[in-house]
Amino acid sequence: MELHKYYSHDSFDFICVEGGMSLRYSQPQALNDPFEVNPAFTKCNPELEAAIKKEISNDTGDNRIDLSPEEAILFINERMPDPMRDIINAEIQNKIGILSLTINNSSRAMWSYYGKEHKGFMITISDSYLMELKKIDNVSNHKIVTYTKNRPININFDNCDFDEIFYVKDSEWFHEEEYRAVQLLVNIPIIEKEEIDIPLHCDLVSSQHICKITLGIRSSDKLKEKAISWIKQNAPKVELYQARPCRTQFRLEYEKIEIFK
């Protein structure tokens, strides 16, 4: 399977480096959606919920609570102290990194947004890279993202499905068709960059896992020259393509650029 990522033109020198491509694993707080990896935990465990439901169902006295069992559980969840959620969120924010890729290689929306009005480029890598990632306890280390309108709110501390935390997004983003990888940041090197407020963790993806580079419709000759030079020096098996507008439909076509003639 091939996976893709769109970039702006001015990030080429940072991404395409000697020996491969430098791909960032972003902390959740650095992602572009504040709901990302921000779980709404249920503080009542199943045993407590069952006890609440039983007590309310059996209460027939004058002091009967005028709440349904579900309303009572919600009432308690909203008012119980929340130190555990803060602790878990802090651990997630500081120790986990996410690499966002996509299975969609022809998204004009992503070309416009991430590719800066089609002036940038798109990389294509093989999923063979993902097969080499280190395993993480209790969570998949790579997976397709699921999109939904509702936040997962049935997560509890006793039986936490971490895939539901890391691989569920708002349906507003469904067009991105994201495929992501999750890694412990301790396993991803830090790249020094002064203008970044939080640590920048980037993994060097070997050229053997890189399939192609595609230049945007409005990309410059300078970017093309950079791409050709990088391929010749670092990854001679990587193919280079140029995006073109289809003459008959609202879609993109990719024309191969012959580097070694």
Structure tokens at 240: 């280079």
Of the pLDDT bands very low, low, confident and very high (cuts 50, 70, 90), residue 90 is confident
Contacts of 55 (CB under 8 A, 6+ apart): none
Q: Is 190 exposed, middle or buried (0-12, 13-18, 19+ CB in 10 A)?
A: exposed
With contact defined as beta carbons under 8 Å apart, do 254 and 108 qualify? no
Q: How high is the pLDDT of residue 54?
A: 57
Contacts of 84 (CB under 8 A, 6+ apart): 41, 43, 157
Of the pLDDT bands very low, low, confident and very high (cuts 50, 70, 90), residue 100 is very high
Structure tokens at 154: 């049935």
Domain boundaries, the chain: 2-38+97-257, 44-79
CB atoms within 10 A of CB 52: 19
For residues 61 and 25, give the distance between their C-alpha atoms in angstroms, rounded to a whole number: 57
Q: How high is the pLDDT of residue 246?
A: 96
Task: State mean pLDDT over 252-257.
Answer: 97
What are the φ/ψ torsions at residue 192 (nearest 5 degrees)? Answer: -75, 125
With contact defined as beta carbons under 8 Å apart, do 105 and 4 qualify? yes
Of the pLDDT bands very low, low, confident and very high (cuts 50, 70, 90), residue 145 is very high
For residues 100 and 25, give the distance between their C-alpha atoms in angstroms, rounded to a whole number: 8
pLDDT at 89 over 60: yes
CA torsion angle for 124, 126, 130, 132 (degrees, to 10)? -130
How many helices (H) does the chain have, and how many strands (E)?
7, 16
Q: How high is the pLDDT of residue 164?
A: 84
Task: State mean pLDDT over 95-119.
Answer: 97
147-198: per-residue pLDDT in tens? 999 887 655 555 567 888 899 999 999 999 999 999 999 999 998 765 667 8
Contacts of 46 (CB under 8 A, 6+ apart): 156, 158, 159
Contacts of 187 (CB under 8 A, 6+ apart): 134
14-57: per-residue pLDDT in tens? 999 999 999 999 998 888 888 888 776 555 555 555 555 555 45
For residues 41 and 53, give the distance between their C-alpha atoms in angstroms, rounded to a whole number: 19
- Give percent of the chain above pLDDT 70: 76
Q: How high is the pLDDT of residue 194?
A: 58
Q: How high is the pLDDT of residue 34?
A: 86
Of the pLDDT bands very low, low, confident and very high (cuts 50, 70, 90), residue 138 is confident
Of the pLDDT bands very low, low, confident and very high (cuts 50, 70, 90), residue 69 is low
For residues 232 and 229, give the distance between their C-alpha atoms in angstroms, rounded to a whole number: 5
Nearest to 145 by CA among 182, 93, 95: 182
**Which has the minimum average pLDDT: 62-76, 142-156, 223-237?**
62-76
Q: How high is the pLDDT of residue 174?
A: 95
